[in-house]
Structure 1
Amino acid sequence: MPRRVWWGLVTLVVIVALVSTYAVTRPPGPPVLTQRDVDTSVQRGIEKQAEADAAAPADGSVAHATIAPSLVLIQTRDTVAGEQQEGSGAGVVVNEDGTVLTALHVVDGSTNITVTFADGTTSPAKVATEKPESDIATLTPSKLPETVVPAVLGGGVAVGAPVFAVGHPLGLTDSLSAGVVSALDRTVRVEGDRKLEHLIQIDAAVNPGNSGGPLLNKAGQVVGIVTGLANPTDQSLFVGIGFAVPIATAGGAAGSPPR
């Protein structure tokens, strides 16, 4: 066999051997993603989320369960110019003495105040302290329930944080609405030239009967006291903007005797 042909055959054999070896030993390429893979992954994610949702109750459920034993219904009944006037609002028990923190305008000027505790205990109450510039008052009931459960007071909140307003809107007792903090440090004009400052703005629904009730974070801690709602039509209907006094202001405001 001519030398040139022989070397050609040797070269061909070597090339074939190298190609075969590479085909066997080369690392595998990236796997091909199929629709079945996608469907399986999505289904697995749905199942895991369902398991997590079942294991952990929603924030609103936690907040409501935490505050429910401390929530108070406040009712007023007075005779003005020969006519009987009634009002209602909410409040929250803040210490073991049964002191109720609420909005001043709920009880302002009333001489006949009744509070109803979470267990159904009813009692006359009197205004103990008030701070008009913050629309905050405290009430002292003459009778307490067998078990007094003070609310847990929280700290500050940030814009965008989830919050819950709990109260008795439009006579619907023990109602919770959810939203977020829309803004901080708001100033609102309430009567004449009187202003409330440094308020928390929220989009959680608030209506007449929510006033004085607690604004909660997702842990059920009180971060504010609901004071009112934006009312451009003078019809006291919620238009997506409510306000609350920060708990640091509300707690510190309850130190002045009634006028």
Structure 2
Amino acid sequence: MLTVLLALWLYNLLLPGPRPLTTQQVNEAIASAMASATPAPSYSSIVYQIIHPSLVLIETERPNNEGGLGSGVVVTAEGDILTSLHVVAGAETITLTFADGTRTEGVVVAEQPENDIAAVRAAQLPEVLVPATLGNPGALRVGDEAFVVGNPFGLYGSMSAGVISGFERSFKPETSERTLEGLIQVDAAINPGNSGGPLLNRYGQVVGIVTGIVNPTEQEVFIGIGFAVPINVAGGAAGLPSY
């Protein structure tokens, strides 16, 4: 028995256990692990990836050679595109550019003047057509995340983010005799070229169609108050059921 105990004592003496890690070693190991970890994507980047294939750039020409820019979003498997009526009203030609680069002419197939909404159909569809997923505006709350994707000043596929600021707003565009009712108010940046583009929730679902901004200086720049037509109203122009 004494021999066994002596052998164990000699073993522990000659082969000691591992030394405890120092604080510096622990911190360095944590820093290395964090540096090599891949962070989860943000909600905004996921929203953009979801909606981008459904986004459409709309370019128009009117009789006085005046060009126009706007945005649209594919909402049906048949390729129907929702946009703002003021983007395409009175246009002699409508040119559509899809996310894959397909360029084709478009024609207005339905109008909702009371909501500043139009449905446009393309002469040629892209090989892969990706209709957007529609959300329920009734599920929104003030303070919810809000994302706007469109083509401000012709900058294709630009995204801005903010929050839902209010509901049931009224807005009278300077170029219209009609007052739009029941609008969603947002503070995500909206500029010329965004009209007709989608308003999205945090899941990448279309909850509205951007229609205009308020600016007391009468300049076409954003000051934090923008409006969108709820998608359950706008969708009627494309034959979608209200909900």
Same fold (TM over 0.5): yes
Match of 1:198 in 2: 182
Matched, 1:109 2:90: yes
% identity of equivalent residues:
55
Deviation at 1:253, TM superposition (A): 3.8
Deviation at 1:63, TM superposition (A): 0.5
Structure 2 Cα separation of the partners of residues 54 and 133 of structure 1: 48
1:135-174 maps to which residues of 2 (within 5 A)?
135-156=116-137, 157-174=140-157
Q: Indicate the structure (1 or 2) with the bigger Cα radius of gyration.
A: 1
Match of 1:124 in 2: 105
The CA RMSD measured in Å over matched residues stands at 2.1
Deviation at 1:193, TM superposition (A): 4.3
Q: Is contact 1:93-1:100 (8 Å) kept?
A: yes
Aligned residue identity for 1:215: L
Deviation at 1:254, TM superposition (A): 3.9
Q: Is contact 1:136-1:254 (8 Å) kept?
A: no
Aligned residue identity for 1:186: R
Unaligned 5+ residue runs, structure 1?
1-42
Aligned residue identity for 1:114: T
Aligned residue identity for 2:85: L
4+ residue runs over 4 A deviation:
none
Aligned residue identity for 1:121: T
The 3-state SS of whatever aligns with 2:222 is coil
Structure 2 Cα separation of the partners of residues 136 and 174 of structure 1: 20
Structure 2 Cα separation of the partners of residues 111 and 78 of structure 1: 5
The 3-state SS of whatever aligns with 1:89 is strand
Q: Is contact 2:147-2:202 (8 Å) kept?
A: yes
The 3-state SS of whatever aligns with 1:239 is coil
The 3-state SS of whatever aligns with 2:62 is strand
Unaligned 5+ residue runs, structure 2?
1-26
Aligned residue identity for 1:158: R
Structure 2 Cα separation of the partners of residues 86 and 219 of structure 1: 34
Q: Is contact 1:69-1:119 (8 Å) kept?
A: yes
Structure 2 Cα separation of the partners of residues 73 and 184 of structure 1: 27
Match of 2:74 in 1: 93
Structure 1 Cα separation of the partners of residues 153 and 207 of structure 2: 23
Q: Is contact 2:83-2:117 (8 Å) kept?
A: yes
